[in-house]
Amino acid sequence: MKLRRLWAIARKEGLHVIRDWRSLVLALLIPLIMVLLYGYALTLDLRDVPMTVWDQSRSVQSRELLSLFQGSPYFTFIDFPDNYRDMQTDLDRGRAMAALIIPSDFSSKVKSGTPVQIQVITDGSDANTSRLVTTYVTVLSNIYGKKVSLSRVRRNGREPVRPAVDLLSRVWYNPDLRSQNVLVPGIVALVMIVVAAMLTSVTVAREWETGTMEQLISTPLHRSELIFGKVLPYFVIGMVDVLIAVTIGRLVFHVPIVGSSGLLFAFSALFLSGALFFGMTLSIVMKSQVLANQTAILAGFLPTLILSGFVFAIQDMPLPLQFVTYIVPGRYFIAILRGIYLKGIGFDILWVDGMLLGIYTLIMIVLAHRKLKFKLE
């Protein structure tokens, strides 16, 4: 491999990128659009769930219970019906995602110390939110029950009984439990796989469609010079995209990088190289820009979105799918990103995932060379 010929191919490909300014602008806008879209739209937090309340008691005690719900950031009361029909209408039309029913004997039972039941109805069409709503309602109800019991004990002139075990919980790495802190590192991986697939999947295919591949074959180029020369300009664009995604995550969503930024960009360069050569391999095999681009997005974006642990926990997947995730490079890269972003861990822990990414990149480089079966030497 001679650097002069490699640089000539890289310069030629760079001129293609500059002249096709629409694709260049799109490649630089994709990180901005994706980070903002996923960062704002995709959230696992429970906030301002619309709730309808049927308070049959209408007592001081029921209002005290409802004040716990109103004082939390999790629920917003949107209606106070006085029958099941109106309450069901709110749920059917999607105005409310949960309904709370307080029975008419709530006040008398609370005063007498008799256990009393309240009912919560959730919209199961959104199973995840339904589970969270049930959990939060249970917690708030338990808080109210403990408050009433403590007040009754003190009113009788006794000291409250201390529990035998006092649980003190502490959350490490993401103490505020913000979903953006978990999702933004994964968005960086999505941005890279989409940009890499979009850019390099058309490089060699374009040469065949425009009829310039025969001219390249007639030159004294080596396969490695052609492949690496074509990847180099897109590698630079991809690293700029990583910088844009990381910057937006820090400035807009306030997701700090606890670990080493240098290590973050080093692993990003490794993952990006593998993704670029993956797109290059598809471009060589397909020989069609449209087909190669669509295949690259389908084979790169969807597995990274679904099977990498970005949104869905891998341990919750069926066992066969859990084995499939081991061949998805995004799984290892997202684990690295979250380790650096949230835990601040270093190469001594991340080297295994980094080694697997290196193997993936090496396989893609070898495949790209093997699939380019033309005599270029």
Residue 72: which CATH number? 3.40.1710.10
DSSP per-residue string spanning 183-203? HHHHHHHHHHHHHHHHHHTTH
Domain final residue pick, 122, 155, 188 = 155
Indicate the average pLDDT of the chain: 83
Q: Does the pLDDT at position 218 exceed 70? A: no
Specify the number of domains making up the chain: 2
Q: Considering the domain boundaries, does residue 170 fall inside one?
A: no
pLDDT at 211: 63
Residue 113 lies in domain: 49-155
Q: In what order do the strands lie in the sheet with 75-79?
A: 75-79, 49-55, 98-102, 119-122
- Residue 135 CA: distances (Å) to CA of 72, 117, 323: 14, 16, 31
Q: Does the pLDDT at position 359 exceed 80? A: yes
DSSP-derived letter for residue 252 is T
Residue 194 and residue 104 share a domain: no
Average pLDDT over residues 56-62: 89
Q: Considering the domain boundaries, does residue 289 fall inside one?
A: yes
Measure the CA–CA gap between 323 and 104, rounded to whole angstroms: 54
Tens digit of pLDDT for each residue in 120-141?
999 888 777 888 888 888 888 8
Q: Does the pLDDT at position 192 exceed 60? A: yes
- Residue 65 CA: distances (Å) to CA of 8, 53, 80, 109: 73, 12, 15, 14
**pLDDT above 90 coverage of the chain, percent:** 17
Vertex 72 angle, CA 69 and 77, to 5°: 50
Q: Is the dihedral of CA 19, 25, 26, 27 positive or negative?
A: positive
Domain final residue pick, 97, 124, 155 = 155
Going by C-beta distance under 8 Å and a sequence separation of 6 or more, which residues neighbour residue 200? 230, 231, 234, 276, 277, 279, 280, 283, 296
Q: Considering the domain boundaries, does residue 111 fall inside one?
A: yes
Instruction: Please give the model's pTM, rounded to 2 decimal places.
Output: 0.79
Residue 342 and residue 199 share a domain: yes
| Confidence tier at 33 by pLDDT (50, 70, 90) | confident
Residue 331 and residue 282 share a domain: yes
Which of 109, 112, 80, 106 minimizes the C-alpha distance to 95? Answer: 80
Q: Considering the domain boundaries, does residue 286 fall inside one?
A: yes
Measure the CA–CA gap between 373 and 282, rounded to whole angstroms: 14
Q: Does the pLDDT at position 267 exceed 90? A: yes
Which comes out higher in pLDDT, residue 316 or 206? 316
Q: Considering the domain boundaries, does residue 171 fall inside one?
A: no
Instruction: Identify whether the C-beta of residue 95 lies closer than 8 Å to the C-beta of residue 79.
Output: yes
